[in-house]
Structure 1
Amino acid sequence: MTDSLLRRGQYSVAPAQQRDVTEARELCATDPVANVVPAMHLETASRAGAIPKGLWVVRRRGRGSRDLAGVLWCGANLTAVLPTDGDEADDARAEVAAAIVARLSRPAALVGDAELTLDLWGRVEPWWGPARQLRPHQISMVTDRDPEPVESSRVGVEPLRQASMDDYPHLLPAAAHMFMGEVGYDPLQHGREAYEDRLTYLVRAGCSYIMYGNVHGTRDVVFKAEVGVVGGGVAQIQGVWVQPSLRGLGYGSEGMVQLVKRVREDHAEAVSLYVNDFNTAAIGAYAAAGFERVGTFATVMF
């Protein structure tokens, strides 16, 4: 696992440089839905002229300095873009796994294309395991068209809109409830400052959407979601939540239909998300909003 051993391999893993950005973006463009996270950070690097700390590249040794084999983003989560076929895939993944264990801190999760993510997980598990949660079959979905509008007959439901900081006292408990159900712990008890910083950033960036309605005689949030990532012409939806007492009544489908239209207007032409394969209600709501399956994701949480 030492750097001296890694130097003998066919690949090197190094912090990205400005000269790598164009080629790295081309690699991400081979699957813009799966690679939206590194694509976003590469676009930031291109605009700002500075490379984010968590952006790494995989170079083939003994070839042109611009001959890249992969891209890694290692922030709170680690997402990889690496070869998918043949001997090169196995060799590259083996060396990248050794490099990330030796040189990177363990992230909160590995996330991305299921085949690649689970392969990397199998290679790093002896050092980074055990996993707190493993979700090996998450459905990756995308749409690039406005859905058919849904005519609501619900009294008191307001149109979906971008959240503002005035909404924050209502948005925070809904977001925390969603996070607890999805990740398994209360972000307001563990890591509250970082969690609130992130949510505040999304609200101020116009990436948080909220819908109010009548919840048992009180105006409250009935649906909310965030655009967590935008890159490569794709906006990835995260944090979809429906008021628990109203689930199964069509609020999720109605919210998603309005959300897709707004996100396509505000952020990117293609809208993506991924969802646990056992969440049949959510899958149905996404399908009703025009989403189609394009792949399988996996998440390994620590």
Structure 2
Amino acid sequence: MLTTTTVKVLQPGELQDALAVLDRDPVANAFVAARVQVAGLDPWRLGGEMWGWYVGGRLESLCYAGANLVPVCAGPEAVRGFAERARRQGRRCSSIVGPAGATSALWALLEPHWGPAREVRAHQPLMVTSTLPADIPPDPHVRRVRKHEMDLIMPACVAMFTEEVGISPLAGDGGLLYQARVAELVGAGRSFARVEDGKVVFKAEIGAATDRACQIQGVWVAPEHRGKGLSETGMAAVLRYALQDVAPLASLYVNDYNTAARAAYRRVGFEEVGAFMSVLF
């Protein structure tokens, strides 16, 4: 019996079906789930289209197609369907990011048409925890960044982004979109920092957040303060906020070559549960 498969843009009325797919893996799907829970499926509010892979009329997989291209619960056939749609549309995203298996397969199909990438990070361990560390006290000086402190936190955010991604977030539009995102996290009470002598020496944010899981991002220690253990006590503090105020699970993903960060996260209690992959343009 031939089973009909297709890829199409989800309509707002399919929200519950989309959420059911996203709920299969609340940790890996936190970024997309958080956007959908806030914005629904309207492309203008969502910041991109949500593509669906249907088997026999049933929604089985998703792909968020906005500033990032993100496969969700996508097996080999779904990946091929999403790749064909993305190839026909042409590249509109600045990155492809998601679970390593699906993202690798998607990139293999798109690279002949979209390549070369600026950088490929093929293995980024996905780490998760549901508990606070027993032997690392939270840094009492790490606190929420206040709404009037944008001038304080922005230089640290720009430094972190440039160091992590390899380009400045101020390029292109002068940083307007990046500044708006930082302001959004500050306004939501999900930006944290330790400040000494008027300068940020540690910072991190709780980025994507649902009622099931949240994702810690943007972890940064000022270069002159590295090696002092601030990343561990700082992360313990952010983790306390995350687990008490946001969600029962906290996750992050980290470059595999960043052995120091991976070790610090393990000491705070994070365990590797999978891997992401990022293709940067």
TM above 0.5, yes or no, is yes
Q: What residue is the counterpart of 1:79 in the other structure?
A: 70
* 1:72 alignment partner AA: C
Please show how residues 1-302 of structure 1 align to structure 2 within 5 Å: 10-45=4-39, 52-60=46-54, 63-64=56-57, 67-84=58-75, 89=76, 91-103=77-89, 105-148=91-134, 150-151=136-137, 159-191=141-173, 192-213=175-196, 218-231=197-210, 233-302=212-281
Displacement after TM superposition at 1:269 (Å): 1.3
CA distance in 2, matches of 1:136, 1:83: 17
Displacement after TM superposition at 1:158 (Å): 5.3
CA distance in 2, matches of 1:194, 1:18: 26
Aligned-residue CA RMSD (Å): 2.3
| Cα distance change, pair 240–53 in 1 and its aligned pair in 2 (3 A) | closer
CA distance in 2, matches of 1:56, 1:189: 27
- Name the SS for the 2:170 alignment partner: coil
Is 1:235–1:268's contact at 8 Å kept on the other side of the alignment?
yes
Is 1:141–1:272's contact at 8 Å kept on the other side of the alignment?
yes
CA distance in 2, matches of 1:186, 1:19: 39
CA distance in 1, matches of 2:193, 2:239: 13
| Cα distance change, pair 252–26 in 1 and its aligned pair in 2 (3 A) | same
CA distance in 2, matches of 1:178, 1:134: 19
CA distance in 1, matches of 2:211, 2:185: 19
| Cα distance change, pair 93–46 in 1 and its aligned pair in 2 (3 A) | closer
Displacement after TM superposition at 1:106 (Å): 2.5
* 1:183 alignment partner AA: V
**Structure 1, gaps ≥5 residues long:** 1-8
Is 1:149–1:257's contact at 8 Å kept on the other side of the alignment?
no
CA distance in 2, matches of 1:258, 1:41: 25
| Cα distance change, pair 20–47 in 1 and its aligned pair in 2 (3 A) | closer
Displacement after TM superposition at 1:78 (Å): 1.3
| Cα distance change, pair 257–151 in 1 and its aligned pair in 2 (3 A) | closer
| Cα distance change, pair 243–160 in 1 and its aligned pair in 2 (3 A) | same
Displacement after TM superposition at 1:111 (Å): 0.6
Displacement after TM superposition at 1:13 (Å): 2.5
CA distance in 2, matches of 1:34, 1:151: 28
Is 1:138–1:275's contact at 8 Å kept on the other side of the alignment?
yes
CA distance in 2, matches of 1:22, 1:165: 34
CA distance in 1, matches of 2:69, 2:134: 36
* 2:28 alignment partner AA: A
- Name the SS for the 1:276 alignment partner: coil
**Structure 2, gaps ≥5 residues long:** none
Task: Look at both structures and tell me which one has the larger radius of gyration over its CA atoms.
Answer: 1
CA distance in 2, matches of 1:15, 1:228: 26
* 1:25 alignment partner AA: L
Is 1:38–1:71's contact at 8 Å kept on the other side of the alignment?
no
| Cα distance change, pair 76–149 in 1 and its aligned pair in 2 (3 A) | farther
- TM-score normalised by L of structure 2: 0.90
CA distance in 2, matches of 1:13, 1:47: 16
CA deviations 1:62-116 (Å, max 9, x no partner) are: x34xx112111122211111443xxxx3x32212200122236421100110111
Displacement after TM superposition at 1:166 (Å): 2.6
Is 2:19–2:33's contact at 8 Å kept on the other side of the alignment?
yes
| Cα distance change, pair 232–267 in 1 and its aligned pair in 2 (3 A) | closer
Displacement after TM superposition at 1:52 (Å): 2.5
- Name the SS for the 1:25 alignment partner: helix
Is 2:68–2:94's contact at 8 Å kept on the other side of the alignment?
yes
